[in-house]
Amino acid sequence: MQFLSAASAWFAAALPAIILMYLLKRKYERTEIASHLLWKRVLKEQEANAPWQKLQSRWLLLLQLIIAVLIVLALMEPYWEQPSRSTHHAVLLIDRSGSMTKKASAEPGDGTNGRTTILNKAIVEAKRWLNEQPEKLPVSIVVTGKQPKLIAAGLRDRNKAQELLSSITPYYGTTDYTAALSLADSLHAGQPGGLTVLFSDGQWGSIEELSSIQLRAPLRFMDVNESLTGDNVALVSFDIAGKSGEVPGYYGMAAIRNNGIESVTSVVALYAHYADRPPEMVGELMLHAAPDSWQSAEIRHLPPADYYRAQLQSDAVTIDNVLYQFPGDTAAGKVLLVTEVNLFLEKALQLSGLTVMKATPDGAAPSGETAASADWAVLDTNADALLEEAEWSALLAQLPLWMIDHPEAPQGLIRPSSSHTVIGEHPVTEHLQLADMHIGALGSYEQREMAWGEAIITYGGIPALYAGTVDGLPRLWQSFRLQDTDWPLRQEFPVFVLQAASWMNGGLHPHLGTVVAGDTMEFAMSGGTLQAKWELVASADEYARQELEAIRGEAAYLPLDRSTHIAPQLPGLYRLTELGEQGRVLAQRYLHVKADDKELMERTNRADWTFLEETSGSSGTEQADFSRKGDPIRTQEDGMLPNSYIYAWIALLLILLLAAEWEVYRRGY
């Protein structure tokens, strides 16, 4: 048993005072007298009576001493510790944010195989706490994330609960802590007497925001922050700029942030990665950063490569020591433009980042390297006549085509009766309005077999643009000449050409940039894509590479019916591979996934969590003992909680003793 107010033991000085009063009390013998005349003699004996005599055994003295002892004991606030067990419902809230991936000290037999992180420690502590609870205790398990996840609800199978705890993996994206705590607490609705146990390093967001939540059940914070080193230097940004073949060519920029309390000098090594040979180190940056500050540097004359890697020296957190980046012009492709003269179309294609290879319709079909390097073709001519020639037909059958029809007058022309334009939903027509566009004449489509596509733009009720696939290759058919419209003079025309180039898979597959793990991103698939999947090219951490098995299979494939997608949840460099018919690779684009920088910064302290614990559970009555203010045992990490039911027994005993004392006093003996 322990005491919350040991200083109250000074009140025990009242015990000698009570004894002293009995020692100084004058004593009388009970004597029967026949007359009050003898009282004078009694008074004389009283005057001669000495106060210091042998203390006699008296019930009244004994009762008063016991009462005084109990009062002093109550003032000292006694309690004893017992395991923090809930007999109703326990919710285990596991923090798996980026800060939990810091290296931690390993314990013998903890099952971490020497690769210990704070998250591993939290899981071990959660299993240990669970083993101390009643065997049939219903347990729910919640893990943090961008959206918190309930992985077990009211589970009574102890082995299954241990198995689910072992399956928890880190989440490197932005974590919604308020939602996680709210979800965990909501599981206590209609179940009084529950307890929420949070296993975390305490590095959560705004503690003020968390304190605004009115928790039904008491909160128990188990601090597992046992990082080997408190300092962390993070590689916060890495960019590649410039173009191949230009002077000074590519150059890289890297920045670090020092989250520690001492100045550091860190070395950032830059590596170039190639598809056909091993990577090579192409430079080093020496960066000096003061405490709680950042520093950046630049390196020039980098050689062309598929992608680049910036590597920071290892410290307590490895997930923020590696960043990947790729040159912006590696996605540029080549388009074969077959036309007489069309400066507007040629310029729009060049503005889209394409290399334009021109050919005339009355000339010979390109061959050799020119034909092999073409990614797609634009036929600004009579396509039907061109496809009748064997050489052109053999070449164009292998390429996606954008055919701009040149109908012949008068049989092949249709004059629109109105300028009403209807735009269908398609990647080519995104961001287009085509308001007040004028088209003088359109080609007749009645003689054509258009089962391969559908009209995505109609003008005056006449199909103006068809889109579809032929033999798995994207195809556009435009029923009017650009010379018969004012469209090339409008600002929307370059936008249309850019979107058409991207959809036609004409080599213009811009890389997907850099995103935080698990974030939402928008991009369109290439035309003719039947299957798209993520492929891990390089991981930011070996632990992340091992955890990739968790998202393999169907989860690695992307849905094709929407343009909004979720980025992979593990940091590293990914390749989005889009496949067409018979597994033909249509496009490959890089995506750099990084951990959320904010999750690796120190933001809260232990005092904040103590306050949150003390104020939790205030909305319930049965849980008041768990959240009573002033309980310092709630901050201990030994899995114990105070039990103060002894107060009730002391109060009951005091009432009985006071009643007995009154009875003794009334009788006089």
Residue pair 454/475 in contact (Cβ under 8 Å)? The answer is no
| Paired strand residues for 589 | 576
Contacts of 613 (CB under 8 A, 6+ apart): 218, 219, 220, 221, 627, 634, 635
CA 652, distance to chain mean position in Å, is 53
Report which listed range, 101-105, 385-389, 648-652, is most confident. Answer: 385-389
**57-86: per-residue pLDDT in tens?**
566 777 777 877 778 777 777 766 655 544
- Stretch 187-205: mean pLDDT, rounded? 83
Q: Which pLDDT does position 151 carry in this prediction?
A: 93
- Which pLDDT does position 630 carry in this prediction? 31
Q: Tens digit of pLDDT for each residue in 26-54?
A: 565 677 767 666 566 666 555 545 555 55
Any idea how long the chain is? 669
Taking only the tens place, the pLDDT of each residue in 451-496 is 888 899 999 888 999 998 887 788 899 989 898 899 888 888 888 8
Q: Would you state the pLDDT for residue 476?
A: 92
Q: At 664, phi and psi to the nearest 5?
A: -65, -45
CA distance 69 to 54: 23
pLDDT band for position 127 (50/70/90)? very high
H-type alpha helices, 388-484: 390-396
- The confidence score (pLDDT) of residue 91 equals 93
Lowest mean pLDDT among 19-23, 266-270, 489-493, 564-568: 19-23
**pLDDT of amino acid 633:** 28
Angle in degrees, CA 452, 457, 459, rounded to 5: 125
pLDDT at 228: 47
Q: How, if at all, do strands 322-325 and 149-155 pair?
A: unpaired
Cis omega before residue 134 (within 30°)? no
pLDDT computed for residue 456 by the predictor: 92
Q: Does domain 82-227+606-643 have CATH number 3.10.20.590?
A: no
Mean pLDDT of 93-108: 81
Superfamily of domain 233-315, CATH level 4: Immunoglobulins (2.60.40.10)
CA distance 227 to 216: 32
Cβ of 12: how many Cβ atoms within 10 Å?
15
Residue 3 DSSP SS3 = strand
CA–CA–CA angle 195, 196, 200 (5° rounding):
145
Strand ranges of the sheet holding 2-3, from the earlier edge strand across to the other edge: 2-3, 78-83, 640-643
**Pair of tokens at residue 256:** 């670090």
Least confident of 189-198, 242-251, 461-470, 618-627: 618-627
CA–CA distance, 400 with 360 (Å, rounded to integer)? 18
SS3 484: helix
Give the mean model confidence (pLDDT) for residues 559-582: 83
Q: Tens digits of per-residue pLDDT, 388-446?
A: 888 898 888 888 899 998 877 666 688 888 889 999 888 788 778 888 889 988 887 66
Range scoring the smallest mean pLDDT among 4-8, 218-222, 380-384, 529-533: 4-8
Separation CA 375–CA 336 (nearest Å): 8
* 355 token code pair: 């290399």
Q: What is the mean pLDDT of the segment spanning 336-352?
A: 87
Q: What CA–CA distance (Å, rounded) separates 537 from 574?
A: 5
Read off the pLDDT of each residue in 101-117 and give the average, rounded to a whole number: 65
Walk across the sheet containing 139-143 and list its strands: 149-155, 139-143, 90-94, 195-200, 219-223
DSSP letters for 69-103: HHHHHHHT-EEEEEE---SS-EEEEE--SGGGGSB
- How many percent of the chain have pLDDT more than 70? 71
pLDDT band (50, 70, 90) for residue 4: low
One-letter amino acid at 484 equals D
Contact of 153 with 578, CB cutoff 8 Å: no
- What the block records as the tokens of 235 is 């590689």
Q: Are strands 334-339 and 355-359 parallel, antiparallel or unpaired?
A: parallel
- pLDDT tens across 139-171, in order? 999 999 989 999 999 898 889 999 999 999 889
Flag whether pLDDT at 188 surpasses 50: yes
CA atoms within 13 A on the CB side of 24: 6
Q: Which two tokens stand for residue 550?
A: 């968790």
What DSSP element (H or E) covers 184?
helix 177-186
Q: Is 618 exposed, middle or buried (0-12, 13-18, 19+ CB in 10 A)?
A: middle
Which pLDDT band holds residue 447 (cuts at 50, 70, 90)?
Answer: low
pLDDT tens-digit readout, 580-590: 777 777 778 88
Mean pLDDT on 497-510: 68
The better pLDDT of the pair 87, 651 is held by 651
pLDDT at 6 (0 to 100): 67
Residue 371's pLDDT band (boundaries 50, 70, 90)?
confident
Question: Which pair of structure tokens corresponds to residue 595?
Answer: 């951990």
Banded model confidence at residue 634, pLDDT cuts 50, 70, 90? very low
* Strand pairing category for 293-302 and 250-258: antiparallel
Identify the CATH class of 514-594: mainly beta
Task: Please tell me the predicted confidence (pLDDT) of residue 616.
Answer: 65
Q: What is the mean pLDDT of residues 646-668?
A: 68
Q: What is the mean pLDDT of residues 516-539?
A: 82
| Helix (H) / strand (E) containing 656 | helix 646-667
pLDDT at 254: 87
Q: Does residue 267 register a pLDDT over 50?
A: yes
Per-residue pLDDT, 428: 86
The mean predicted confidence, pLDDT, of the chain is 77
Q: Residue 296: how many CB atoms within 10 A of its CB?
A: 17
Helix (H) or strand (E) holding 343: helix 343-351
653 or 243: which carries more pLDDT confidence? 653
- Asked if domains 82-227+606-643 and 334-503 share a fold, the reply is yes
Among 432, 375, 430, which Cα is nearest to 401's?
375
Residue with the bigger pLDDT between 431 and 130: it is 130
Average pLDDT rounded to a whole number, residues 367-389: 85
Predicted pLDDT at 469 = 83
Give the fold, CATH level 3, of 334-503.
Rossmann fold (3.40.50)
Q: Residue 8 and residue 16: Cα distance in Å, rounded? A: 16
How far apart are alpha carbons 334 and 35 in whole angstroms?
139
Domain layout of the chain by residue ranges: 2-77+647-667, 82-227+606-643, 233-315, 334-503, 514-594
> pTM value?
0.57
Q: Which residues, in sequence order, are CB contacts of 511 under 8 Å at separation 6+?
A: 326, 328, 330, 331, 589, 590, 591
> What are the φ/ψ torsions at residue 189 (nearest 5 degrees)?
-60, 125
Q: Is the pLDDT of residue 251 over 70?
A: yes
Query: Residue 25: its pLDDT value, please?
Result: 60
d(CA 432, CA 434): 6
C-alpha span between 69 and 308 (Å, rounded): 77
pLDDT above 60 for 565: yes
* Residues in contact with 110: Cβ distance below 8 Å, sequence separation at least 6, in sequence order: 116, 120, 121, 124
pLDDT greater than 90 at residue 95: yes
In sequence order, the 6+-apart residues with CB closer than 8 A to the CB of 665 are 60
Instruction: List the one residue out of 188, 190, 140, 189 whose CA is nearest residue 160.
Output: 140
Q: Exposed, middle or buried by CB within 10 Å (0-12, 13-18, 19+), for 285?
A: buried
pLDDT at 404: 92
Compute the distance between CA of residue 275 and CA of residue 454 in angstroms, rounded to an integer: 39
pLDDT of residue 553: 41
Q: Of 60-69, 276-285, 314-323, 545-554, which gets the smallest average pLDDT?
A: 545-554
